Structure 1
Amino acid sequence: MFELTIAFLFIVFILYKLMLIVPMREVNVIERLGKFRTVLQPGFHFLVPFVDRVAYRHDTREEVLDVPPQSCISKDNTQLEVDGLVYLKVMDGKLASYGIEDYRRAAVNLAQTTMRSEIGKLTLSQTFSERDSLNESIVREIDKASDPWGIKVLRYEIKNITPSIHVIHTLEKQMEAERRKRAEITLANAEKAAMINMSEGERQEAINLSEGQKQKRINEAIGSGQEITIIAKAKSEGMDMICTALANEGGNDAMNMMLKEQFISQVGNILSESQVSVVPAEMAKLEGFFEGMEQVTHAVAKPSTATKGAR
């Protein structure tokens, strides 16, 4: 019974060494008597017991490795601490096993050195504004160097870029000064825009007033012209009617009567409003006659008086 148990266990052990199931996410590197034989892909495989063995197992999924913070010097001699993440994937199990001892540690160290080298080519402001191009440069350099290791660097992402405390204080002062400058520029632009708007408003107001005055004068001129035209037309029509009336029988007598009435009316107005005595021309002639007669009488009376005295 004991011998049967030993035999059963031995058969199970042989079968265990004979069969190999590779999971979907892995590749297995097989060595035969210490020498590389093949790379087994996911699935069921047979091995030669005590001759073949699984030397390495590699995960074929994308891996994320943390790159520790490190001190870097930028192009403008600013000290920075930079950390990141590197994403890679095993593409060749044989090279990943025999091309390098530990591809993960090598990828992290290579990412650190490459990152220091690339940051040294940029200024402090460029490290913040050109982060995408910096990541692409690091990926390109790491992927080129890691090609013999059988891995593929898919991308690199910088997590944090931390300047020193002194640099942070300097940047804060610079940003504050920049904000003040922008505020002053904004205020100046606002004042400029306000002055422009005010001047435009005054200009438009002056234009509107001048246009109004111009239109007023035009309207007054048109009105005066129309008034003169109407008056002239009325006078013309009146003259035509007068001429027509004078041409008829008795027209001259009617005209004389109307002129006399107007004369009497005007004389009455003058006599009522004037402070000077106004008489008709015939009466003025009579007044002159009597004054002449009085002067003649005085002239005749003076010689008579002289004669009496002589006597």
Structure 2
Amino acid sequence: MVVVEDSHPQSSANTGHVPLETDRDPNGLIHTIAVVGSIILVVITFPISIFLCFKIVQEYERAVIFRLGRLRSGGPRGPGLFFILPCIDDYTNVDLRTVSFDVPPQEVMSKDSVTLHVDAVVYYRVNSPQMAINNVSNYR
């Protein structure tokens, strides 16, 4: 007879964890009703709605999808073909290429009172499309 002991006391059934309201159903009843209604709408208007449901994202882009204002799990979609539900899904394309733009010429006064003309170029690239959309109001 082999006896196996649990070395992690927190993993036992008597941890005292009380389920919160968010643990039960993170989406809610309204979310489920809206998704089912949107699916019914797609089925009823099938030939026309097929052009609204499938979206294509290029190799250098990613799509961040929101369903009823909440970020969909699974991260950004792309590249390629993906499916959205009309009326409840909203998506934003994020360009992953390096973007450059010119800063207008500036005049700067140095310590020894010499006027300098400074011209600049700014380069940026998005590494995380989800963070760019959610954490910055206008990342561009």
TM-score (ref. length: structure 1) = 0.28
Aligned partner of 1:34 among 52, 63, 69: 69
Report the equivalent of 1:83.
Answer: 119
Please state which structure has a larger fraction of its residues in strand. 2
Give 1:30 shift.
Answer: 0.6
Report the equivalent of 1:194.
Answer: none
Report the equivalent of 2:107.
Answer: 71
Runs (4+) of structure 1 exceeding 3 A deviation are: none
**Matches for 1:1-311 after TM superposition, within 5 Å:** 10-37=45-72, 38-54=75-91, 56-104=92-140
Give 1:65 shift.
Answer: 1.0
Provide, for residues 204-247 of structure 1, a one-character-per-residue CA deviation record: whole Å limited to 9, x for no partner.
xxxxxxxxxxxxxxxxxxxxxxxxxxxxxxxxxxxxxxxxxxxx
Equivalenced residue count is 97
Please state which structure has a larger fraction of its residues in helix. 1
Cα pair 1:17 1:50 within 8 Å, conserved:
no
TM-score (ref. length: structure 2) = 0.59
Structure 1, gaps ≥5 residues long:
1-8, 105-311
CA distance in 1 between partners of 2:46 and 2:127 (Å): 37
The DSSP-based 3-state class of the residue aligned with 1:91 is coil
Provide, for residues 79-120 of structure 1, a one-character-per-residue CA deviation record: whole Å limited to 9, x for no partner.
22211111211111122212222223xxxxxxxxxxxxxxxx
CA distance in 2 between partners of 1:95 and 1:70 (Å): 32
CA distance in 2 between partners of 1:101 and 1:72 (Å): 30
Greater CA radius of gyration, 1 or 2?
1
Structure 2, gaps ≥5 residues long:
1-43
CA distance in 2 between partners of 1:99 and 1:51 (Å): 22
Per chain length, whose mean CA-contact separation is higher, i.e. which structure has more relative contact order (CA < 8 Å, sep 6+)? 2
The DSSP-based 3-state class of the residue aligned with 2:121 is strand
Report the equivalent of 2:28.
Answer: none
- Return the letter of the residue paired with 2:80: G
